[in-house]
Chains A and B, each alone.
Chain A
Amino acid sequence: MTPIRLVVNGTEHLLEVEGPVSLLSLLRERLGLSGAKNACRQGECGSCTVLLDGEPVCSCLVMATDADGAEIVTVEGLAGPDGSLHPVQRALHDHGAVQCGYCTTGIVMSAVHLLERNPTPTAEEVKEALAGNLCRCTGYGAIVRALAAPERAADGEAP
């Protein structure tokens, strides 16, 4: 048993971890936060993306013990106090960028990280930021339209 301390979506958790447990398993199985998905368990698909001390990581590749002391933000931590959508979620929603949705929460987290650093990304910058998030349904077009500033401007939205 290894004791660890995590701050997840602003709440502190003191946990005992036994054996090789990924941060993804810990979030899903122990903390009941099933927004991060497991689609490959190899860090290839990005469905499990969360922010660890502000940086996007594949939580399937982070051992829970290595996250000791870290601040984690999952998709569950994005909602406003009234439960409202984060602007990234709103943009993806409005542009029809969700189909089966299995990749969506990971894409949301990668996009939140991008827009925090670059509020007006070009289409190429969106693609570079999301290169680690596989989507099998949408062909990515609606995702780029939702997030790239020039595309949003062309749709009559404030960039």
Chain B
Amino acid sequence: MTTRLDAPIAVRGGVGTSVPRPDGIPKLQGTFAYSGDLHHENMLWGATVRSPHPRARIVSIDIAPALALPGVQAVLLASDIPGNARFGQKEQDQPILADGEVNFWGEPIAVVAAETLPQARRAAAALVVAYEPLKPLTDMEEAARRGEAFRTLQVVNGDQSLRGEVAIEGYYEVGIQDQAMLGTESGLAVPDGEGGVDLHISTQWMHVDHRQIVDSLGLRPEQVRLHLAGIGGAFGAREDLTLQIHLCLLALHTGRPVKMVYDRAESFAGHVHRHPARMWYRHEADRQGNLVRVEARIILDGGAYEETSGAVIANAAYFSVGPYRCPSVEVDAVAVRTNNPPAGAMRGFGANQVCFAHEAQMDRLAAALGLDPIDLRLRNALGHGDRLPTSGQEITGSLPTAEVIRSAAALPLPDEGPSDDPRRLPGGVGLTTPPGAVRRGVGFAVGIKNIFFSEGFDDYAEARAVLTPAGLEVHTAAAEVGQGMVTVLAQIARSATGIENVEVVFDHTGQIGSAGSTSASRQTQMAGGACLEACRGLRAKALERGGGDRLDDAGVWSEGRLVASLEDLLAAGPLEHHTRFRHAPTEPPNATGQGNLHAGFCVAAHRAVVDVDPELGLVRVVRVDTAQDVGRALNPQSVLGQIEGGIMQGVGLAVMEELLVDRGVVRNASFTDYLIPTILDAPDVEAVIIEEPEPGGPFGAKGFAELPAISSTPAVVAAIRAATGRDLNRVPVRPQDIAGV
């Protein structure tokens, strides 16, 4: 497959170079202002009262004891909300503050504002709420039986009568993973004195927050302005509202700036988590190993409110087969409503759960057929021109599945067995088994995911390129969450214009239209695509005004002679270009889940090497090597950073990360009890970057940064299976699942 792309203009710091991030130095020096670092004169501190029950009727609320405490300026309940009292990105089904009942542990009931944070927390604790606890619904299969569904999806593709010669079945479970971004939820709301409010916030999508905030406050859109504050990671946790409306309510009620910062325990309660899953699979193939039919039944527990469950279950359904051709597919998928903590977006967005299942199935199928598991995957690898086995849509962009499989499989394996250095053994120095008892295993997995929002969503991003006497500004409302979009936008702008001095400016919601969400691996192509269009438009205008053929930081050149400086160009008036960029349109699915639902896809392969202590059930992930489809690497160093960081989260889900929910109550809401990988847990990583340009992507780039977190998990578990012989149908794999092999 060949794609013609407009070549980037040669310029220092353009695409394809590892430019350092512009916010790197302030972040290293401690001067970068995260939302939790913001301060305003005369500001109050907010705190939230949360339900201790997963399901209960609220009998009464007495705010008087809280109001009587020193420093308390406001205690607000559901009845104090002037506009729509419910919110939600799609369905407005979630109370901003509980009204009459609570449906999950940690659901907000009231918010308070006081002069100091300790005073606000004391006031929150002093509020008296009488509950009548009710029996919570916490089992996702029971919820499915009762028809408590946010979305049910049936995907039927191909000849349903086809049957293979070999069939294998499996059942799989995925536990709840938390994004555990290091910066907890925080923000600062400042009333403007005219009835409106400015909210400085860490979020993944300012404009979708804005719409919901305006709706709840009963204000005109222009009265509420969201400003992007410094963000300490996101990974999906900031895709749905948490404290945004609470902050604005308190600020408008008190007429004073209000700051809120969740502590870690509250952060676990306050944001959505990755959906836990139960999945039943049947794979059938002919004797040569060609997939003939896949049947899957998938349940995701969406928790108490819908959030993005409808889109997550769709991804789980459409990517349930993996990046493989298959002529006959039937998938039943449902996201159910329970009284568990709400689930929503996390890196991978539904593709991770099914990848764990379909990759275990592929290994089992290979074993049943007596084939090499990598050969089986290669034989069925999906690529450009094939049809997605679920939705039936043709793959019109790049999809180098076979290439990532071959490249990852070709990487050298370590020669040596388990180390004799106790620091490199499972359990580390404190809990090691004798090196001779350690078992090593190798596992392989492949993953696929869509890029962008799907199923007919009008997905767009705005950008504005502005010429200044010093160079170029790119204005956007896209969220920089740490991934490095701020670097890549500047690189695209340089390569599109020839101007080296580029600044990315984060506008507030009143200054520019939406850039869409920083999620779904979409911003490199969406904010990046808008940036490219805006910059090309600006360059064309500048060349026309200056009467030349080349633009750079000096100005416009004609046949090698400078004909107008940037100041000369601007003397005739401002020079800017604004665009609204859209990816290729998609359509909603028909009744059997068919249609052109997605506008782009990405694949990766991972190969994991693990050492297992069979006595204590401890696992050390020695290395995870990968081949990653990226279209084109705009910033190779940043690409590697996304790969290594994503793999680490995938390893976390494989062997340690699980939010433990007992009858609806979260039992490990702390970093003491919810373990995320430390530097000692980090595997060595070798990554092969596969550059097959994506049509329509800026200079051929495609979004990819969810994939490293998707197929790394099943690769690690496959390696543990190889080391132990255990079935291991559940992640995270726990010591008791392995010990005593």
Contact = CB atoms under 8 A, between A and B. Distances in A.
A36 to B, nearest CB: 7
Q: Which of A28, A39, A74, A78 has the most CB of B within 10 A?
A: A39
A4 B518 CA distance: 46
B160 interface: no
Contacts of A40: 264, 670-671
Interface string B624-662: 000000000000011011011111110000000000000
A98 to B, nearest CB: 5
Interface in A130-147: 130-144
B482 A131 contact: no
Contact of B25 (A42, A47, A93, A131): A93
A5 interface: no
Given A124-B423, A137-B645, A99 B484 contact: yes
B20 A134 contact: no
Contacts of B234: 100
Given A101-B232, A124-B423, A134 B32 contact: no
B483 interface: yes
Interface residues of B, number: 58
Contacts of B33: 34
Contacts of B28: 75, 85, 89, 92-93, 98, 101, 104-105, 108
B324 interface: no
B24 A141 contact: no
Nearest to A41: B263
Contacts of B672: 42, 44
B697 to A, nearest CB: 22
Interface in B164-196: 179-184
Given A38-B36, A100-B481, A128-B423, A140 B25 contact: no
Q: Which of B30, B179, B264 has the most CB of A within 10 A?
A: B30
Contact of B233 (A19, A41, A102, A142): A102
Contacts of B671: 39-40, 42, 44-45, 134
A132 B680 CA distance: 9
A42 B264 contact: yes
Contact of A141 (B18, B263, B678, B682): B682
Nearest to B639: A96
B34 A104 contact: no
B31 interface: yes
Interface in A31-84: 33-42, 44-45, 47, 74-76, 78-79
Nearest to A76: B30
B692 to A, nearest CB: 24
B105 interface: no
Interface in A82-132: 85, 89, 92-96, 98-105, 108, 124, 126-128, 130-132
B563 to A, nearest CB: 38
Contact of A100 (B184, B482, B679): B482
A103 B30 CA distance: 10
B679 A131 contact: yes
Nearest to B685: A141
A105 B264 CA distance: 19
Contact of B644 (A42, A89, A102, A140): A140
A34 B34 CA distance: 9
Given A34-B37, A96-B18, A98-B28, A45 B182 contact: yes
Nearest to A103: B182
Given A39-B182, A93-B24, A100-B231, A85 B29 contact: yes
B30 A35 contact: yes
A79 to B, nearest CB: 6
B29 A101 contact: no
B104 interface: no
A41 B263 CA distance: 8
A133 B423 CA distance: 17
Interface string B14-43: 000010110111011111111011000000
Interface in B25-80: 25, 27-34, 36-37
B416 interface: no
Contact of B645 (A36, A105, A138): A138
A46 B482 CA distance: 19
A144 B484 CA distance: 20
Given A105-B28, A141-B682, A143-B679, A37 B182 contact: yes
B34 to A, nearest CB: 7
A44 B180 CA distance: 13
A100 B24 CA distance: 9
Tell me whether chain A's interface is mostly helix, strand or loop, or mixed. Answer: loop
Q: Which of B29, B481, B685 has the most CB of A within 10 A?
A: B29
A47 B232 CA distance: 11
Given A96-B638, A124-B421, A136 B676 contact: yes
B20 A102 contact: no
Interface in A12-42: 19, 28, 33-42
A59 to B, nearest CB: 13
B30 A105 contact: yes
A98 B182 CA distance: 13
Given A98-B27, A127-B679, A128-B680, A136 B670 contact: no
B235 interface: yes
Contacts of A141: 640-641, 644, 682, 685
Given A38-B36, A101-B482, A139-B648, A79 B679 contact: no
A136 to B, nearest CB: 5
Contacts of A135: 182, 679
A99 B483 CA distance: 6
A39 B35 CA distance: 13
Contacts of B680: 127-128, 131
B30 A142 contact: no
B181 A138 contact: no
B146 to A, nearest CB: 37
A126 B679 CA distance: 9
B183 A37 contact: yes
Contacts of B24: 93, 98, 101
A35 B36 CA distance: 11
Nearest to B423: A124
A139 B184 contact: no
Contacts of B648: 138-140
A42 B263 CA distance: 10
A135 B18 CA distance: 21
B248 to A, nearest CB: 24
B682 A140 contact: yes
A23 to B, nearest CB: 15
Nearest to A79: B29
Contacts of A34: 30, 33, 37
Given A28-B37, A45-B671, A131-B678, 13 more contacts: A85-B28, A93-B25, A99-B233, A99-B483, A100-B182, A100-B183, A100-B234, A131-B680, A134-B678, A138-B641, A138-B645, A139-B645, A141-B641
25 contacts: A33-B30, A35-B30, A37-B34, A37-B182, A37-B232, A38-B261, A45-B182, A74-B30, A89-B29, A98-B28, A101-B32, A101-B232, A102-B183, A104-B28, A124-B423, A127-B423, A131-B679, A131-B680, A134-B676, A137-B482, A138-B644, A139-B682, A142-B641, A142-B644, A144-B682
Interface of B: 18, 20-21, 23-25, 27-34, 36-37, 118, 179-184, 231-235, 261, 263-264, 421, 423-424, 481-484, 637-638, 640-641, 643-649, 670-672, 676, 678-680, 682, 685
